[in-house]
Amino acid sequence: MARKSRRSYVVGVDLGGTKILTALINKKGEIVAQAKQATEAEMGPERVIARIAESVERVLRRADVVPERVLAIGVGAPGPLNPETGVILNAPNLPGWVDMPLAERLRDKTGLPVFVENDVNAGTYGEFKLGAGRDVSDLVGIFVGTGIGGGLILGGQLRSGFRHVAAEVGHMIIVADGPRCGCGACGCLEAVASRTAITRDLVAAIKAGRTSILTELAGDKLDDLTSGVLAEAVQRGDALTLEMLGWAQHYLGLAVASIVNLIDPEMVILGGGVVEALGEYFLAPVRETAFANLIAKHDLQRVKIVAAKLGDQAGVLGAAMLAVARVGKRK
Amino acid sequence: MARKSRRSYVVGVDLGGTKILTALINKKGEIVAQAKQATEAEMGPERVIARIAESVERVLRRADVVPERVLAIGVGAPGPLNPETGVILNAPNLPGWVDMPLAERLRDKTGLPVFVENDVNAGTYGEFKLGAGRDVSDLVGIFVGTGIGGGLILGGQLRSGFRHVAAEVGHMIIVADGPRCGCGACGCLEAVASRTAITRDLVAAIKAGRTSILTELAGDKLDDLTSGVLAEAVQRGDALTLEMLGWAQHYLGLAVASIVNLIDPEMVILGGGVVEALGEYFLAPVRETAFANLIAKHDLQRVKIVAAKLGDQAGVLGAAMLAVARVGKRK
């Protein structure tokens, strides 16, 4: 009993294709130390796993906490993966990661229980436990960046899905036979409302002769617009940017309506770089379109469509909180 | 204890706008007596509730079972409704039904516990307990008729939703800014793949000069094609009917892909008049399109996309089985 109560910390890791974020979190869900380092994915899985283990050591050292006081490590990782076994089936952004038993390898290196979950699921769980969704038990997370990912919390539980691939919000088909998506299908939400889609349409319009302040703001990086540059173009009232963002907002609103019509959650949380950079300006029209397209008009005001609160920290916090939930179940 | 075991029957009621189906069901989930009668909705709610109570008496009399041997009555009713209170908020097909406490009224008339659920949810629950979904705990039901309705079973439980309006599969938006739906939105699945949508497009094509055997088969009822007439036109190889059904199958396939990408269930069950009349001929292309548009290609063969098995009896069976589940919880 005395021993158990000593384990009052948990580590969260957000494993991305370019960087690893690691945080030591206390019982209150506060980050007490964190580390950020390059993934060095090109060096292969063993190197990446060693770097994760190093980053765990680093946050412990920074907070002057011994490993014996850590309950578990939670890792948010790119999928598809199996959260029950902690095996990553394959990860397009991480060369060589095929059927990689990440949980087992990291457990062997650290001596701590390790739990692995899809990174966007982890981020959604973070918002549920410590962010915008703290007071609800039923929510859908939608994160808009270069792609669009999501997570489902139903009845206070993360829904992983039968094949552990639930919540692929970005691959709901919204524009049948529309623009080709990276996944091969046509008209997926990601193909019409991600930053990649917005950029594609902006570049095409500019090439077709439309003028935009973006040519000045982005210089030769027009093909790789950041959310910050888009936000600046909006602030300057750039008509073309407003038009293209308007389409993304329209399609996101229709997707939110579809999701609410299907799942009827209490809350939809929108996050990711585009939403963070533009805030309520971006969110308000999405909410309006969603409400206009809901089938059940009663109790409309009870459906909350809100911005994420945790930003980049959603992943490490969620991965850590999931580890706490799962180590509890295992006992 | 002796008394409890005597209550080995349950009554299921499927309340529709034109007819009331009622069945007495034994412990094995078998129908031992049934009744079918006109709803007489135009006579108002009190009359309809009296007719439901009569139909309950009738099935008991037919099976020579006394009310003391009945555990509960389950009613599948048009929504929106509150399954916790048994109050129907409003029902467009039932004039005068606004905030109608159906469970309470029917309990007063019969002396039995009454549970009310959305009719399509009840049908899905019937398929889950006694039909195509018997062996799974995680499924989505899609029923294609004049409209398109659905139901969600997640982790062996019916998902009613936060506002009790979940599973409105027909109002997922598949063709953004597409044909206007009865609900007011554009491009809902129901607006492009229901029998109503198929009929609309067939009539428009015929008016525009396309030829079809339907003008012969349906006579002056071209605006109100039955699933049986559509099936006959298919059997006779009618090119226009095949073309329009092909579009409905395409959109249904995309909707199934969207749903599986979002929820990742073990099974999708397709039912309703159109699916029943055309069977595997209708289902195979829907399945093919769905598989082609799933984002997670691994374990594809584990996702079952199958036809409903219970036909018209899904509703009464599901309503009855839900009543069994709920009376158990209440104790």
B5 pLDDT band, cuts 50/70/90, is: low
The verdict on A20 and A144 lying in the same domain is: no
Q: A101-116: per-residue pLDDT in tens?
A: 999 999 999 999 999 9
The verdict on whether omega for the bond into residue B83 sits within 30 degrees of 0, i.e. cis, is no
Report pLDDT for B140.
Answer: 98
Report pLDDT for A93.
Answer: 87
> B276: buried, middle or exposed (CB in 10 Å: 19+, 13-18, 0-12)?
buried
More confident residue, A17 or A79: A17
B295: helix, coil or strand? coil
CA distance A78 to B30: 48
Closest CA to B289 of A177, A162, A261, A255: A177
The verdict on A28 and A161 lying in the same domain is: no
For residue B237, is it left (φ>0), alpha (ψ between -120 and 50) or beta? left
Interchain CB distance below 8 Å, B171 and A261: yes
Chain B hits for A80, Cβ within 8 Å = 296, 298
Angstroms from B136 CA to nearest CA on chain A: 10
Q: B156-210: per-residue pLDDT in tens?
A: 999 999 999 999 999 999 999 999 999 999 999 999 999 999 999 999 999 999 9
Of A138, A173, A250, the CB nearest to B257: A173
The verdict on B117 and B91 lying in the same domain is: yes
List the CATH number of the domain containing B72. 3.30.420.40
- Tokens 């691959």 belong to A171
The verdict on A109 and A149 lying in the same domain is: no
Q: A63-77: per-residue pLDDT in tens?
A: 999 999 999 999 999
Query: Could you list the residue range(s) of the whole structural domain that residue A177 is in?
Result: 134-308
CA distance B54 to B36: 11
Of B175, B187, B262, the CB nearest to A169: B262
- Mean residue pLDDT of chain B comes to 95
- Tokens 């050591």 belong to A57
The verdict on A139 and A164 lying in the same domain is: yes
Counted domains in chain B? 2
Of B165, B175, B257, the CB nearest to A264: B165
Four-point Cα dihedral A274, A275, A280, A283, nearest 10: 100
Report pLDDT for B1.
Answer: 42
Strands (E), A231-301: 267-271
pLDDT above 80 for A125: yes
Is B162 at the interface with chain A, CB within 8 A? Answer: yes
Of B163, B254, B302, the CB nearest to A176: B254
Interchain CB distance below 8 Å, B174 and A173: yes
Report pLDDT for A210.
Answer: 97
Is A264 at the interface with chain B, CB within 8 A? Answer: yes
Residues A31/A87, Cβ–Cβ less than 8 Å: no
For the sheet containing A19-25, what is the strand order? A31-38, A19-25, A9-15, A70-77, A114-118
Sequence-distant (6+) residues with CB within 8 A of A178 are A186, A187, A191, A192, B176
The verdict on A25 and A95 lying in the same domain is: yes
Closest CA to A184 of A195, A173, A198: A173
pLDDT mean over A16-41: 96
The verdict on A284 and A154 lying in the same domain is: yes
pLDDT mean over A151-164: 96
- Cα–chain-centroid distance for residue B172? 16
Angstroms from B287 CA to nearest CA on chain A: 15
A331 pLDDT band, cuts 50/70/90, is: low
The verdict on A264 and A167 lying in the same domain is: yes
Closest CA to B35 of B316, B271, B311: B316
The verdict on B155 and B209 lying in the same domain is: yes
Report pLDDT for A226.
Answer: 92
CA distance B71 to B7: 5
Residues B237/B123, Cβ–Cβ less than 8 Å: no
B49 pLDDT band, cuts 50/70/90, is: very high
pLDDT above 70 for B78: yes
CA distance B242 to A76: 47
- Tokens 């299921």 belong to B12
Beta bridge partners of B37: B20
Report pLDDT for A221.
Answer: 86
For the beta carbon of residue A221, count every other beta carbon within 10 angstroms. 11
A1 pLDDT band, cuts 50/70/90, is: very low
Chain A hits for B258, Cβ within 8 Å = 171-173, 258
Chain A hits for B288, Cβ within 8 Å = none
Percent of chain A's residues with pLDDT above 70: 98
Closest CA to A143 of A235, A53, A260, A269: A269
Interchain CB distance below 8 Å, B293 and A161: no
For chain A, positions 97-156, list CB contacts with chain B under 8 A. 138, 150, 152, 154
Is A297 at the interface with chain B, CB within 8 A? Answer: no
The verdict on whether omega for the bond into residue B80 sits within 30 degrees of 0, i.e. cis, is yes
Helices B239-263 + B195-207 axis angle, to 10: 150
Report pLDDT for A297.
Answer: 82
The verdict on A227 and A144 lying in the same domain is: yes
The verdict on A139 and A232 lying in the same domain is: yes
The verdict on A219 and A109 lying in the same domain is: no
For residue B297, is it left (φ>0), alpha (ψ between -120 and 50) or beta? alpha
